[in-house]
Amino acid sequence: MQSSDSQSNDEANLQLNPDGSLRHLLTLKGLDKSLLLELLDDAEQYLSPEGMLPVRSNALAGRTVANLFFEPSTRTRASFDLAGKRLGADVLNLDVNTLSRKKGESILDTIYTLEAMAVDIMVVRDASTGVPAYIARNVKDFVSILNAGESDASHPTQGLLDLLTIRQRKGGFENLTVAIVGDIQHSRVARSAAYGLRTLGVGELRLVSPPAMAPDDPELSFATIVDNLDEGIRDADVVMALRIQRERIGNLDGIPNIDEYFASFGISNERMRLAKPDAIVMHPGPMNRGIEIESALADGAQSVITQQVTNGVAVRMAILVRVAASMDAR
Amino acid sequence: MQSSDSQSNDEANLQLNPDGSLRHLLTLKGLDKSLLLELLDDAEQYLSPEGMLPVRSNALAGRTVANLFFEPSTRTRASFDLAGKRLGADVLNLDVNTLSRKKGESILDTIYTLEAMAVDIMVVRDASTGVPAYIARNVKDFVSILNAGESDASHPTQGLLDLLTIRQRKGGFENLTVAIVGDIQHSRVARSAAYGLRTLGVGELRLVSPPAMAPDDPELSFATIVDNLDEGIRDADVVMALRIQRERIGNLDGIPNIDEYFASFGISNERMRLAKPDAIVMHPGPMNRGIEIESALADGAQSVITQQVTNGVAVRMAILVRVAASMDAR
Amino acid sequence: MQSSDSQSNDEANLQLNPDGSLRHLLTLKGLDKSLLLELLDDAEQYLSPEGMLPVRSNALAGRTVANLFFEPSTRTRASFDLAGKRLGADVLNLDVNTLSRKKGESILDTIYTLEAMAVDIMVVRDASTGVPAYIARNVKDFVSILNAGESDASHPTQGLLDLLTIRQRKGGFENLTVAIVGDIQHSRVARSAAYGLRTLGVGELRLVSPPAMAPDDPELSFATIVDNLDEGIRDADVVMALRIQRERIGNLDGIPNIDEYFASFGISNERMRLAKPDAIVMHPGPMNRGIEIESALADGAQSVITQQVTNGVAVRMAILVRVAASMDAR
C-alpha cells in the first residue's frame, strides 16, 4: 500500500507546475478542491446560456494537439478533436492501427517524435496502467499530457464532466447521496468520479455491484460498498450506471446471463422510484440499453446522459486552455 | 405500393422546413423543380469562371460537420470533407472501422452523442435503406442530415452533380434524351438521377440494362426500359455508364463473363457513333475501365467525368450552405 | 544503364518548371547545388531561433494538400500534415486501407479525381518504384507531386532534412566525412542522402554494410564502399544509422541473429570513439534500439535524432511553399 500511495502522490504532484497550476491531467486523485472547482467554473464558460452550443475562442491558435489513441474510441476522441478545433488549435489524429502495426518503436520514441514536431499537448488513451504518467515524466517542459482513459485506473476528463453535470443539476455536493452501479472493480469511470466526489465533499458515495465486481482499491474505502441495488439506490440524488462488458457477466456468481444482470443490477424506471423523486440518472456511454440501463429511463426526464456528452466537450476545452496557459510561464 | 408511396412522400416532406426551405437532403424524390434549379444555381456560384477552382467562403465558420461513413468511401468522403473545409467549417471524420467495432451501441445513440457535441450537420453513408431518414426523424431541430449514399436507394448529391453537369453542357433538360446504362436495379446513382431528371422535365429517359438488371421500381415507370445497348444509345444527348459490381456479372443470363458484358453493355467510342455527335459521356466513378466503359472514351473529348467530380464539390458546398442558412430560422 | 540514366534525367527534369523553379519533388538526383542550398535556407526560416518551435504563416491559405499514403506511415504523414496545417492549407488525409480495399480503380483515376476536386499538392508514398514520377507525368499544370517515400528508390524530404541537420551542426559539407551504416541496398534514406551529399560536395561518403547489403546502384559509385564498421566510422564527422528490417537479418552471411548484427554493425558509444570527438549521430527513425543503434547513444549528447524530426517539418513547410509559389506562374 505504501508504495502504491507514494506512487499516487507522485502522480498527483507530477501534474502540477511549481506554482500549483495544472500542467498535465493524469488523475483527479490529489487535485485539491479549489482547483477542481476552478476547472468546473472554466468549463461553464464554454457552454452557452442554453447549455448546448459551445462558445468558441482562439485561445489555442498556434498550438498543436495530438490525439494518440492506442485503444479505439469514438466519443472521447471526437470530443477532444472538437474541443481542440473549437479553440483554434491544429489537431493531429494519429491512426491507432498504423501505430500498433509499426513494430519495434517504443512508445517514448513516438512521443519524442511528436515533441520534436512541436506538438504542445498530447491526448493519450492506453490500455495499460501508468502509461500517461510514464509519458508525462519523460516529456520536455513545454509539453502537456492529458489522460483520455487509462486501463481500469483513471479517466479524469470523464470524472470532471460527471462532476460538472452533478453540480449543474444539484447545485453542490455536500448533501448528496450518489450511487454508482455496475462493475466498479474494472471501471476507470467509477474511480475518477469517486476521487473527485471525495475531494468535493460528497455527502455519501455508494458503490453498488455484485460482490465479484466490488472495488478492491483501498483509496475507495471512504465509500459505502453495497451489493444490493434497491439498497444502493434508496433515497439517492444521483444514480450513475456503468457500461458493463458483456463477456464478464457469464463469470458472475448467481448472475448466469444478461437478463439476470438486468433484473439484479439494471437501472430502470421502476427501480428509480426508490431514489429521491428529483434524482438524476447518468451513464458514461456507450450504453448497453436493456442491460445496465432500461431504454425508457435513458431517454426519460431524469436522464442527464446527453448533457454529460455536451459537458465533456466543455470540460476538455477548459483543460486544454488551462494547460496551454501555463506553457509560456514554465 | 401505397405504403411505399406514403413513405416516400413522408421522406420528401421530412427534408423540408415548414417554410419550404431545405433542412435535410435525403432524396431527390419529391423536391420540386424550383428548389432543384435553385440548388444548381447555388452550386454554380462555387465554381470559378473556368469551372475548376472552387470559390471559398466562410459561410460555415463556427459550424461543425461530421462525416459518418458506415460504408467505405474515398471520393464522396473526400468531396464532403473538402466542401466543409472550404466553407470554414470544423470537419469531424469518424472512422468507420472503429465505429463498427464498437458493438452494442445503437446508431441513434451515436447520433445523439454527436448532437450533444453540437455537431450541426451529419453526412451519413449507410448500406441499409432508410437509415438517413430514420436518423432525420430523430434528431433535434438544429441538426441537418445529408444522405451521402444509401444502399441501392438514394444518392442525392450524386444526382445533383449529374444534373448540374448535364445543364452545363446541354443548357437544359426538356429536349434531351438521356440514357443510363448498367445495373439499373441496384443503382442508387441511376435512381437519384432519374428522380431529378423527371422533375426537371427531361425529354426522354432510357434505362438500359440486361433484363435481369432492369428496374423493378414503379417510380421509374416514366422511363423507357431498354435491354439493347444500340437501341438505348441511338440519338441520345447524354450517356451515363454505371459502375458494375464484377461479382454480379457471373449470374447474368447470356453474359457469362466480363468480356461478354463489355461486348453487350460496355460504352465505347464505336458505340457512341450511334448517339448524337455532340453527346456527352458520364460515369459516377470509380470506373472499371474496359468493363462498363472503354478507357479511350473515358479520357476522350466527349467525357465529362472529371467535370462531374468538380461539380460534386460545388454541389456539396451549396447543400451545406443551404441547410446551415435555415438553422437559425428553425 | 543508359536507359536507367535517361529515366533518371527525365525524372530530374520533370520536377522543374521551364524557368528552373521547383514544381514537383521526386528525387534529389539532378537538383543542382544552388537549388538545394536555397531549399535549406528556406527551411531555416521555419525554425525559431531556438531551433524548436515552428514559425507559422498563411502562405498556403486557400490551397489544398492531400496526403496519399499507400504505405503505412506515422511520422512522415504527421510531419506533412502539420507542415500543411501550420501554413494554413486545407489538409486531406486519405485512408490507405479504404483506398486499397476499393478494387478496380487505377491509381491515375484516383489522382484525376483529386485533381478534379482542386487538390493543389499531392503527397504520395508508395511501395513501388516510379509511382511518384508516373503520377507527375500525368497531372495537370496546376498540380504538384511530392514524393514522401518511394520503395527503396527515393525519399527526398528525408534527404533534405538530413542535409539541413548536417549543415546546422557542421557548417558545410566540403571537408566532412559522412558514414551511412546499415542495409544500404534497400534504403531510400541512404540513396537520397547520398545524392544530396554528392551535389553539395561532401568530402567523403562511406557506405558501410555487410557485403550482402552493399549498394548495387552505379549512381553511388562515387562513395567508398566499406564492409567493416570500425573502418567505416574511423574519423567520421557524421555517422548515420539506418533502420534495419529485422526479417532481413536471418539471411545474412555470418550474421545469424540480431545480437550478431549489433556486434558487427550496431552503432554504440564505444564504437563512436573511433569517430571524430565532435561527430554527430543520426537516424531516420523509427529506431530499433539495441539493433542498429545503442539506446544510450541515441539519447546522448552526440545524437541529433530529434533535431532531424524538427527539421523534417521545416523542410516540408519550405517545399510546400516553394511548389505553391510556382503555381500561379505556370
Phi, psi of A173 (to 5 degrees): -125, -25
Cβ of residue A263 closer than 8 Å to a chain C Cβ: no
Cβ of residue B118 closer than 8 Å to a chain A Cβ: yes
Q: What is the pLDDT of residue C98?
A: 53
Chains that touch A (3 or more CB pairs under 8 A): B, C
Cβ of residue A247 closer than 8 Å to a chain B Cβ: no
C16-38: pLDDT as tens digits: 999 999 999 999 999 999 999 99
CA distance A98 to chain C (A): 6
Residues of chain C with C-beta less than 8 angstroms from the C-beta of A109: 285-287, 289
CA distance C116 to chain B (A): 5
Residues across chain C: 330
Cβ of residue B88 closer than 8 Å to a chain C Cβ: no
Among A94, A102, A106, the residue with its CB nearest the CB of C78 is A94
Query: Does residue C8 register a pLDDT over 70?
Result: no
Q: Which of A204, A161, A183, A200 is nearest to A305 (CA)?
A: A161
Cβ of residue C67 closer than 8 Å to a chain B Cβ: no
pTM of the model: 0.95
The grid coordinates of residue A39 equal 476547472
CB contact under 8 A, A118 and C53: yes
Q: What is the pLDDT of residue A4?
A: 46
CA distance A14 to chain C (A): 23
Residues of chain C with C-beta less than 8 angstroms from the C-beta of B52: 118
Query: Does residue C74 register a pLDDT over 90?
Result: no
Cβ C151 vs Cβ C173: under 8 Å:
no
Mean pLDDT of C156-166: 98
CB contact under 8 A, B56 and C64: no
Cβ of residue B125 closer than 8 Å to a chain C Cβ: no
The CA angle C287-A146-C313, to the nearest 5 degrees, is 45
Residues across chain B: 330
CB contact under 8 A, B306 and C115: yes
Q: Where are the beta strands (DSSP E) in A70-143?
A: 90-94, 121-126
Q: What is the pLDDT of residue B4?
A: 45
Residue of C nearest to A97 (CA): C72
CB contact under 8 A, C118 and B75: no
The grid coordinates of residue A140 equal 520536455
Mean pLDDT of A119-146: 95
Q: Which of C68, C31, C66, C268 is nearest to C159 (CA)?
A: C31
Q: What is the pLDDT of residue C7?
A: 56
A203-232: pLDDT as tens digits: 999 999 999 999 999 999 999 999 999 999
Cβ of residue A99 closer than 8 Å to a chain B Cβ: no
Among B62, B105, B117, the residue with its CB nearest the CB of A309 is B117
Residue position matching grid coordinates 547513444: C297
Among B62, B64, B105, the residue with its CB nearest the CB of A287 is B105
Find which of A245-249, B104-108, C284-288 is predicted with most confidence, using mean pLDDT: C284-288
Question: Which of B16-25, C4-13, C279-288, C314-323 shows the lowest per-residue confidence on average (mean pLDDT)?
Answer: C4-13
Query: Does residue C73 register a pLDDT over 90?
Result: no
Q: Count CB neighbours of B4 within 10 A.
A: 11
Residues of chain B with C-beta less than 8 angstroms from the C-beta of C112: 306, 309
CB contact under 8 A, B113 and A86: no
Distances (CA, A) of B259 to B268, B271, B296: 13, 15, 17
Positive or negative, the Cα torsion across A123, A111, C64, B240? Answer: negative
CA distance C330 to chain A (A): 31
Mean pLDDT of B207-236: 96
Domains and CATH numbers, chain B: 2-152+310-325 (3.40.50.1370), 156-309 (3.40.50.1370)
Q: Which of A142, A146, A170, A144 is nearest to A156 (CA)?
A: A146
Q: Which of A84, A37, A78, A35 is nearest to A60 (CA)?
A: A84
A265-316: pLDDT as tens digits: 999 999 999 999 999 999 999 999 999 999 999 999 999 999 999 999 999 9
CB pairs under 8 A between B and C: 66
Q: What is the pLDDT of residue B256?
A: 82
Query: Does residue A2 register a pLDDT over 60?
Result: no
C229-279: pLDDT as tens digits: 999 999 999 999 999 988 888 777 778 889 999 999 999 999 999 999 999
Cβ of residue C185 closer than 8 Å to a chain A Cβ: no
CA distance A181 to A190: 9
Bin C136: left if φ > 0, else alpha if -120 < ψ < 50, else beta: alpha
Mean pLDDT of A5-12: 65
Q: What is the pLDDT of residue C44?
A: 95
Query: Does residue C5 register a pLDDT over 80?
Result: no
CA distance B14 to B9: 8
CB contact under 8 A, A310 and B106: no
Among C56, C74, C86, the residue with its CB nearest the CB of A94 is C74
CA distance A60 to chain C (A): 13
Cβ of residue B99 closer than 8 Å to a chain A Cβ: yes
Find residue B93's DSSP bridge partners: B67
Mean pLDDT of B136-146: 96
Average pLDDT over chain A, rounded to an integer: 92
Provide CB contacts within 8 A for C27, sequence distance 6+: C8, C11, C12, C15, C147, C153, C154, C156, C192, C195
CB contact under 8 A, C117 and B313: yes
Residues of chain C with C-beta less than 8 angstroms from the C-beta of A69: none
Cβ of residue A74 closer than 8 Å to a chain B Cβ: yes
CB contact under 8 A, C106 and B72: no
Query: Does residue C50 register a pLDDT over 50?
Result: yes
Query: Does residue B103 register a pLDDT over 70?
Result: no
Query: Does residue A53 register a pLDDT over 70?
Result: no
Mean pLDDT of A163-169: 98
CA distance C132 to B75: 20
Classify each residue of C308-325 as buried b or exposed e, where b means 16 or more C-beta atoms within 10 Å of its C-beta.
bbbbbbbbbbbbbbbbbe
Q: How confident is the model at residue C293 (pLDDT cuts 50, 70, 90)?
A: very high
Residue of C nearest to B58 (CA): C62
Residues of chain A with C-beta less than 8 angstroms from the C-beta of C307: 116
Question: Which of A12-21, B52-61, B170-179, C234-243 shows the lowest per-residue confidence on average (mean pLDDT)?
Answer: B52-61
CB contact under 8 A, C114 and B78: yes
Residues of chain A with C-beta less than 8 angstroms from the C-beta of C306: 112-113, 115-116
Residue of A nearest to B95 (CA): A74
Q: How confident is the model at residue B119 (pLDDT cuts 50, 70, 90)?
A: very high
Picking from B107, B108, B117 by the largest number of A CB atoms within 10 A of its own CB, the best residue to mutate is B117
Q: What is the pLDDT of residue C104?
A: 62
Q: What is the distance in angstroms between the CA of the first residue and the CA of the last residue of chain C?
A: 33
Q: Which of C31, C70, C10 is nearest to C319 (CA)?
A: C31
Stated as kind and residue range, the H or E segment containing C38 is helix C33-44
Cβ of residue C106 closer than 8 Å to a chain B Cβ: yes
CB contact under 8 A, B104 and A309: no
The grid coordinates of residue B165 equal 453537369
DSSP-assigned states of every residue in B47-106:
B-TTS-SBPP--TTTT-EEEEEESS--SHHHHHHHHHHHHTT-EEEEEPHHHHHHSTT--
Q: What is the pLDDT of residue A161?
A: 98
CA distance C285 to chain A (A): 9
C96-148: pLDDT as tens digits: 655 544 556 788 999 999 999 999 999 999 989 999 999 999 999 999 999 99
Cβ of residue C296 closer than 8 Å to a chain A Cβ: no
Q: What is the pLDDT of residue B121?
A: 98
CA distance B123 to chain A (A): 15
Greater model confidence, C248 or B53: C248
Cβ of residue B328 closer than 8 Å to a chain A Cβ: no
CB contact under 8 A, B118 and A52: yes
CB pairs under 8 A between A and B: 66
Cβ of residue B86 closer than 8 Å to a chain C Cβ: yes
CB contact under 8 A, A92 and C75: no
Among B286, B308, B312, the residue with its CB nearest the CB of C109 is B286
